[in-house]
Structure 1
Amino acid sequence: MSQTAFLNRQALFLRPDSTRVVVRPFRPATEPRDFKPTDKTRANHIVDRVLGLDVEIAQQQLSEVLENFEGRHRNLMTTFEKRAREMEDAFAPHIAFTTLQRQLIGAYFMHEYSFEASALFNPSIVSHPDQSGVASGSTRFILSLRAVGEGHVSSLTFRTGIVAQNGTVDIEPTARLASMPVFVPPSSASPDEPLDLTFSPEQPISERVIFPITAAQSNGIEDARFVEFEEAGRKTYYATYTAYDGRGIRSELLETRDFLSFRMTPLAGTASGNKGMALFPRKIGDQFAMIGRQDNENLYLIRSDDLHVWNGGEIILGPKYPWEFVQMGNCGSPIELDEGWLLLTHGVGPVRKYTIGAALLDKADPSRVLARSREPLVRPEPSEREGYVPNVVYTCGAMRHNDQIVLPYAICDTFSNFATIRISDLLNTLTG
């Protein structure tokens, strides 16, 4: 079956939007080498200048700030005051700030960041926890995407939509504003301490942005692979993602039940220092299971009694066909079918061309590969070859919907699109 007949590509493109901005802390550049502890910092110089303003001029400056920025962000004055409080320890002893001074000082230590100015890619999809009001046979979903802005810093953003009974996908309008969560600082200085994040229910899901918080994440939260995990009749959404600090990476786990409150936890164990881990949607036997890549070439099955500790693993898939000779990786969590576990994979071939394939794993023993793609399921079409990274199609997770697979995928690390595939057609392409 040709790729054109196999895939139902939808005319639905999610492109980066530079108008979407968050406010985040501005930190003055480091002090000169001859800086002495008794010297005033740049932060203190800024504070001194603000404190030196007449009340009328200070009020005029704050009014101008509000005129320019208030309609672009929620609770801007509260944000400014919070930022001034956060900076308190960095300021030299000073007179007590008035409310006006505190708000204006906070404004000087914030800046706007266009978090998806460069790219909106590597999506994953799960069913929405709220299916109320959805037509019979349709499914409301949540789509996560990797957004990239200035300096190639990655964050996590969301969209919601409906996939109709016939597989037609529709994305709901994106919120005008974008907001970051309130987070509770860790109780200790340990870099392995979990971090709790909370959004307000008044913020629609497409407004919520999870931006790097910890030092380990400072250059990016990359490629979240969401899965709807069920245990004892209770559903929890987990996402494995890569934390990147500009030099090294580690795998971390995001956990939520409602997409309002999240917990971020670093993963431990020998298998956690690699990219691309994807959790099975339920335990296999009495153990958690992951698909991961530990040697830059092969896919491993990893089992664990502890959701946060992953060691060892066994190779189950390696490069076999020309389109995957360079390396293989997973494209999200396995999807449970009657026939077995459907695992979407990516392969890298000549001229570093990325394509998407699949494998079918035994349901009781996923280390047994029942069948796999001889040819890619999705490859860059001529119209999909140009972008930030040419010749790449990639996904971080698909979803079963009735008799189809709904596949969001990224094009050239720049923007995202959707396709649907009939499960029977997909399985017929796999060979032993």
Structure 2
Amino acid sequence: MSQASFLHRQALHLRPDPARVIVRPFKPATEPRDLNPTDKTRANHIVERLLALDPKVAASLLADVLENFQGRHRNLVETFELRADEMEDALAAHDVFSETQRQLLGAYFLNEYSFEASALFNPSIVAHPDQSGAPEGGLRFILSLRAVGEGHVSSLTFRTGTIAADGSLAVDPPTRLASSPRISHRIPGPLGDEVGVTFEEDMDISERVIFPVTEYQSQGIEDARFVQFSDGGRTTYYATYTAYTGRAIRSELLETNDFRSFRMTPLQGNAARNKGMALFPRRIDGKYAMIARQDNENLYLIYSNDLYRWDGGRAILKPQFPWEFVQIGNCGSPIELDEGWLLLTHGVGPLRKYSIGAALLDRNDPAKVLARSVDPLLHPEPSEREGYVPNVVYTCGAMRHNDQIILPYAVSDSYSNFATIEIAALMRAMS
């Protein structure tokens, strides 16, 4: 099976970097918020040992910690203080703490986490909301990536880059530092909390890491499918993603205007209980529309009057060709062309080999399938077959630029690369 002649692989390999770390709460034995002040838990024992230190020894220890870790994180003293604030329940049974003791306490109840040590994959791409400095005839983009670290916990990270007028690509190097956001609000809901998070304004976007912040996300924020959504002249960036507890999954929605402040909301309805939902970039006949896979096999078209509730749906694409006999799924939000909605798909074939194909849907009635790719556009080359999950190429979203599709894709659940597709040749190849 040969690769489509109109698809061109790039050499922009984005590989995981274990040197990029964030700090996360360290929670020995019992969650601090669950501690009874009279209980003698590991947390209490740590606090007692710290309080027994001579003040000069404590000051020297704090200085050593700061010297050792200061260049690896921003605002480290403030981070220690905030962690100490979160430990108030564990501190209630003890005497008043000095500033040095509180900062040391925060340090003892934090740990570094190498959030992309294992994998950097399943990308999606959208135009940057700030196009200042874009090349003439080109544009700036934001790439989202799923990062995986110790314990197979998934988080969301970003890169920026440019596309030149001729379609050539460049990715900006990431910053050395990485940081989690502060929680700006938390609103209880019927399916769990709506949570807002905000990053510092002076952070480079590659420094921003959205780590799980709710119980339902505790094991991961997986496979964000970003889309630039237009509605009445207003542009909003949405991403559907999978929240994973380690036992159960559900679809949630992330919303932002600037990639600095984000809102995460659980989706409701029977269609939101599965993976792989992808939002159309505009309303269709006044309704929101999604492509989703509700039965682990076929692709469905779903409409909703409410962006946050999704029920029902109609199967519009089923496995048809050998490379997709096991199942098909979407590879991101549909892309609007003059010819119709271009929907990139993934298909699973023998030995669970993942390939990327395409379908063309009617612009006015996306339930009508106008054409499909008989053969995959992209499948694992010999050099791309090895990884955490072998024999997989996968994407969570591409974008159009002039007469090309810019396709970031993951390689065997390990790292990411790019390809470009000539739109006119793709249209001719579909039947």
**What range is the shorter-chain TM-score in?**
over 0.9
Partner of 2:389: 389
Pairwise CA distance, 1:36: 9.0
Indicate the SS of the match to 2:5.
helix
Give 2:345's aligned residue.
Answer: 345
Give the partner amino acid of 1:9. Answer: R
CA RMSD of aligned residues (A): 1.5
Q: 1:95 corresponds to which residue?
A: 95
Q: In the alignment, is residue 251 of structure 1 matched against residue 275 of structure 2?
A: no
Q: Match for residue 214 of structure 2? A: 214
State the AA in 2 paired with 1:217.
Q
TM-score (norm 1): 0.97
**Equivalent residue number for residue 58 of structure 2:** 58
Q: 1:187 to 1:334 in 2, by over 3 A?
A: closer
Contact 1:44–1:92 (CA under 8 A) maintained in structure 2: no
Q: Which moved more, 1:344-353 or 1:37-46?
A: 37-46
Distance 2:375 2:416 in 1: 22
Where does residue 242 of structure 1 map in the other structure?
A: 242
The SS at the match of 2:48 is helix
Distance 1:63 1:358 in 2: 57
Report if the CA contact (8 A) 2:191-2:268 is conserved. Answer: no
**Corresponding residue number in structure 1 for 2:74:** 74
CA distance in 2, matches of 1:225, 1:390: 22
Paired with 2:126 and 2:336, the residues of 1 have a C-alpha distance of 13
Cross-structure match for 1:106: 106
Contact 1:146 1:222 in 2 (8 A): yes
CA distance in 2, matches of 1:90, 1:257: 38
How far, CA to CA, are the matches of 1:37 and 1:81 in structure 2? 20
How far apart are 1:136 and its partner, in Å?
1.9
Structure 1 Cα separation of the partners of residues 93 and 170 of structure 2: 56
Equivalent pair of 1:40/1:92 in contact (CA under 8 Å): no
Structure 2 CA distance for partners of 1:4 and 1:335, relative to 1, 3 Å: closer
Residues 1:202 and 2:202 are matched in the alignment: yes
Does structure 1 conserve the Cα–Cα contact (< 8 Å) formed by 2:361 and 2:370?
yes
Matches of 2:60 and 2:394, distance apart in 1 = 50
SS in 2 for 1:166: coil
After superposition, give the CA deviation of every residue in 1:308-348 in whole Å (9 maximum; x if it has no partner).
00000000000000000000000000000000000000000
User: Deviations for 1:380-403, whole angstroms, at most 9, x for unmatched residues?
Assistant: 001110111110000000010000
Q: Residues 76 and 142 (structure 1 numbering): CA distance in 2 closer, same or farther, change over 3 Å?
A: same
Q: Deviation of residue 188 (structure 1)?
A: 3.9
- Specify the code of the residue in structure 1 equivalent to 2:330: N
Looking at structure 1, the residues matched to 308 and 127 of structure 2 have their Cα atoms a distance apart, in angstroms, of 24
Query: Contact 2:331 / 2:345 at 8 angstroms: preserved in 1?
Result: yes
CA contact (8 A) 1:127 1:139 kept: yes
Q: Which runs of 5+ in 1 are unaligned?
A: none
1:368 equivalent in structure 2: 368
Q: How many residues get paired? A: 428
SS of 1:186 mapped into structure 2 = strand
1:223 maps to 2:201: no
1:303 corresponds in structure 2 to 303
Distance (whole Å) between structure 2 residues aligned to residue 232 and residue 37 of structure 1: 55
Instruction: Note closer, same or farther for the CA distance 1:191–1:294 as it changes in structure 2 (3 Å cut).
Output: closer
Give the C-alpha shift of residue 187 in structure 1: 4.1
Counterpart in the other structure of 1:317: 317
Shift of 1:6: 2.1
| Cα drift, residue 145 of structure 1 | 0.2
Q: Which runs of 4+ in 1 moved over 6 A?
A: none
- Aligned partners of 2:184, 2:307: CA distance in 1, in Å? 22
Cα distance in 2 for partners of 1:370, 1:154 equals 36
Q: Deviations over 1:321-378 (max 9, x none)?
A: 0000000000000000000000000000000000000000000000000000100000
Separation in 1, partners of 2:94, 2:187: 29
Q: Distance in 2 between matches of 1:388 and 1:327?
A: 21
CA, structure 1 residues 8+188, in 2 after alignment: closer, same or farther (shift >3 Å)?
A: closer
User: d(CA) in 1 for partners of 2:188 and 2:309?
Assistant: 20
Counterpart in the other structure of 2:25: 25
TM-score of the aligned structures, taking structure 2 as reference length: 0.97
Shift of 1:30: 4.1
**Is 1:11 matched with 2:11?**
yes
Whole-Å separation in 2 of the counterparts to 1:2 and 1:338? 28
Alignment of 1:396-407 (within 5 A): 396-407=396-407
Report the Cα offset of residue 198 of structure 1: 0.3
Greater displacement, 182-191 / 10-19: 182-191
Report the counterpart of residue 327 of structure 1 in structure 2: 327
> Residue 83 of structure 1 aligns with which residue?
83
